[in-house]
Chains A and B, each alone.
Chain A
Amino acid sequence: MKKHSWVTFSIVTVVSFTMLLTGCNKPAVQENSKKEIVIGAVHAMSGPSATLGNSIKQGMDLAIKEVNAAGGIMGMPVRAVYRDDEGDPTKAKSYMEEVIIKDKADFIVGPTNSTSVAASEPFVNQNKKVQILDIATASDLVDANKFPYTFRTMIPNNKQAEALVKIAISKGYKKIVLVQDTTALGVGGLADMKKYMDLAGAKAVAEISYTANAADMTPVAQKIKDAGADCALFWTLGADGAKIIKALERVNYLNNLEVLGYTGLSMTNFQALAGPGASICSTLGLEVWAPLRSQPKFDDVRQSIYDKVLKEYGAFGPGKRDTSPIYISCGYDSVMLLKAAIEKAKSIDSDKVKAALESGDEFKGYYAKGYVFSKTEHDGLNVNEICQTEISTDKYLGEFAYKIAKK
């Protein structure tokens, strides 16, 4: 009886030890035997941000189709698992947990909205998943120390603020007013704009905050007029911006003012909402996506992705495609950036892929010319690629914006 117990004990111990060792080696075994690479994509594919989320999905689908047709990444096919968070941070967090735990995603793309990223980003980083942010713009979402696995390919708010201030100052404006709403987005935008005004040795003649979605914007327009502004930097969303422009028309102060807005000001029907005052407004875009109105032609790289979008998803317009080739290329870049980093790292291990991204080498892009990350800087887009563009155009409404030539 005693001997039998010893035999049982020995077998249990050996089996347990073997299982423990197997468990310890699990990642290596998993990587070697991995049959596919799973990208978890949590995006707003319905709700107010649906156009953005669906653009990203289309771009990712396009890239994955091409990658798989060419044999996958290091022989492994790529599969995306999508979740629609509807722009809701609570849903974003639970879907992120689902794609990482249940679907065993190797990499993460998204979410779309900054608030959704803020809610889910800590979980992604705790699980050491390399995350690509290709739409969310809030400045503090990307911090190499706080969120070491999060990288961004989109223009962040702080770089937009820097670009707005640079453009205003380069145009010689002396009386600049800063206009923003009282939401976290507006407050963050104001802080960024003030920071770059200070760095440029300039001071705004007025800072005007208002309640988002307010019915009457006449007081905002009146304060711009009272300040005698020659330039207004708008950190406002499109509809509120259009209301302010209409109010500026009401207080008769359109002629001596130029309005430069961050990308949130841009919306497809801005001209219809703002009326004649839309002509004094412009926003920001990437130079490669903003040809001059006199030469409406992309470079070869942008033309190639634009042609792919037309072939795959058809023409833009009512009842047709409502997604933007610019944001489709963001989704496309997310997959291609991961592919390049995995191939550079020769591994799908998160730390190795992270190190490959942080190498300082330039990764070619379709949305931007290229992205360069380092150990301390996880925002890969170069501020010098940002230029001043028209808010929306007649012929290419929603497709891209024309660049405003420097005077």
Chain B
Amino acid sequence: MQDILFGLTTGSIYALMALAIGIVYSTTGIINFANGSIVMIGAIVGFWLVSIVGLPLWSAILLSIVITSLVNIILYKTCVKILGNLHVNIGWITTLLGASIILDNLARVLFGSEPQPFPYLFGGTEITLLGYRIMLHEIAMVVITLVIAISYQAMIKKTTLGNAIRAVSTLPDSAKIMGIKSEVIVVLCFGMAGGVAAICGILMAPITFVSYTMTMTVGLKGFAAALIGGLGNTKGAFVGGWSLGILEALLSRYIPLGLKDAVSFIIMILIILLMPGGVLSGIKLRKKAAAVKL
């Protein structure tokens, strides 16, 4: 049971990373290779606001979300938009990978190479849940991720902005004819992805510490979660993130920990091979097949 609780908290980090990747992918069709660096920027900005500016933690989190959103928008304007048609010009692979290296180096110069501690939410208070000690911070990680998952899905399905995002995602040319400003929607999506990345960075910072290398390993897991859930499928991002987190936690009991990542990526490869659209698309296909048989 405790393994599942720990798996859910780690899975929340993966899920939020996968969501940030998915939001960008769904509207532009590109993979933000600098996503891990944006998560790191969110954590570093949060750290500076708490330790240097002296803001209360919650204010620092809100301000960090705003700043990181702006950084992600600048990333779009400088590394993606200038390339024109992204389906023709795939230079974004290089510009985003390059931007990731620049952000990492910049963070190393400005922040230093020494990891720094970051405060837990609720002061690191622990409670006993189902007989196990668990931090309120860890519960908050799962709850905040769940709230983001529900809110994002509600926004996508029930608001005008959501309709516009879906229109730009599925039929970008028709969306333009319908008068939807695709450019504004894409900028908004980059901003939202930056905000989600900042939340992810701040939630993981007390566990991983703040440093310019904090997402180097975890960042890859974010991509794995996005692929397991189905790239661009924002619902699938949560399924992918949490299932990967729980799976890793359970596997850790039975396999050498050095092989944990290898096993995670083998599972990811199998899912890509068997269900190219992610686990959710696989479930949908099975339901359709069952309906046809009936």
Contacts and interface: CB of A to CB of B under 8 A. Distances in A.
Interface of A: 47-48, 50, 182, 208-216, 218-220, 222-223, 238-239, 242-243, 246, 250, 252, 267-269, 272-273
Contact of A209 (B6, B135, B207, B258): B258
Interface residues of B, number: 32
Contact of A47 (B113, B115, B135, B208): B113
B10 A273 contact: no
A219 B258 CA distance: 11
Interface stretch (B77-85, B93-101, B210-218, B273-281): B210-218
B252 A222 contact: yes
B165 interface: no
A218 B6 CA distance: 8
The dominant DSSP class at the B interface is helix
Given A208-B257, A216-B207, A239 B252 contact: no
Contacts of A47: 108, 113
Nearest to A274: B117
Contacts of B108: 47-48
Interface string B209-227: 1010110111001000000
22 contacts: A48-B113, A209-B257, A210-B258, A211-B217, A211-B257, A215-B13, A215-B208, A218-B6, A218-B249, A219-B249, A219-B252, A219-B257, A220-B257, A239-B115, A239-B209, A239-B211, A246-B207, A252-B133, A269-B116, A269-B117, A272-B116, A272-B117
A39 to B, nearest CB: 27
Contacts of A239: 115, 209, 211
A174 to B, nearest CB: 23
Contact of A215 (B218, B253, B257): B218
A373 to B, nearest CB: 33
Contacts of A216: 6, 9-10, 207, 248-249
B8 to A, nearest CB: 11
B281 to A, nearest CB: 27
Contacts of B217: 211-215
Nearest to A272: B117
A273 B117 contact: yes
Nearest to B251: A219
Query: Max chain B CB contacts within 10 Å: which of A182, A212, A219, A252?
Result: A219
B204 A215 contact: yes
Given A211-B217, A215-B13, A250-B133, A273 B258 contact: no
A211 B258 contact: yes
Contacts of A223: 252, 257
B207 A215 contact: yes
Given A213-B213, A213-B216, A246-B207, 13 more contacts: A47-B108, A50-B113, A210-B258, A211-B260, A211-B261, A215-B217, A218-B6, A218-B249, A219-B249, A220-B257, A223-B252, A243-B209, A269-B115
Interface string B111-137: 001111100000000000000010100
Nearest to A238: B115
A47 B10 CA distance: 30
A243 B257 CA distance: 15
Contacts of A272: 116-117
A177 to B, nearest CB: 12
Query: Max chain A CB contacts within 10 Å: which of B115, B217, B256?
Result: B115
A242 B209 contact: yes
Interface string B128-165: 00000101000000000000000000000000000000
B187 to A, nearest CB: 30
Nearest to A242: B209
A238 B213 CA distance: 13
B161 to A, nearest CB: 32
Interface in B186-209: 204, 207-209
B208 A243 contact: yes
A17 B114 CA distance: 61
A209 B256 contact: yes
Given A239-B209, A243-B208, A268 B258 contact: no
Contacts of B117: 269, 272-273
A48 B13 CA distance: 26
A222 B251 CA distance: 13
Q: Which 4 residue pairs spanning A and B have beta carbons closest together? A: A219-B252, A209-B258, A182-B258, A48-B113
A91 B7 CA distance: 41
B136 to A, nearest CB: 13
A270 to B, nearest CB: 10
Nearest to B138: A250
Nearest to B124: A275
Contacts of A50: 113
A246 B261 CA distance: 21
Interface in B1-54: 6, 9-10, 13
A239 B209 CA distance: 8
B133 A267 contact: no
Nearest to A268: B114
Nearest to B211: A239
B260 A219 contact: yes
Query: Max chain A CB contacts within 10 Å: which of B9, B135, B204, B256?
Result: B256
A242 B115 CA distance: 10
Contacts of B135: 250
Contacts of A48: 108, 113
Contacts of A273: 115-117, 209
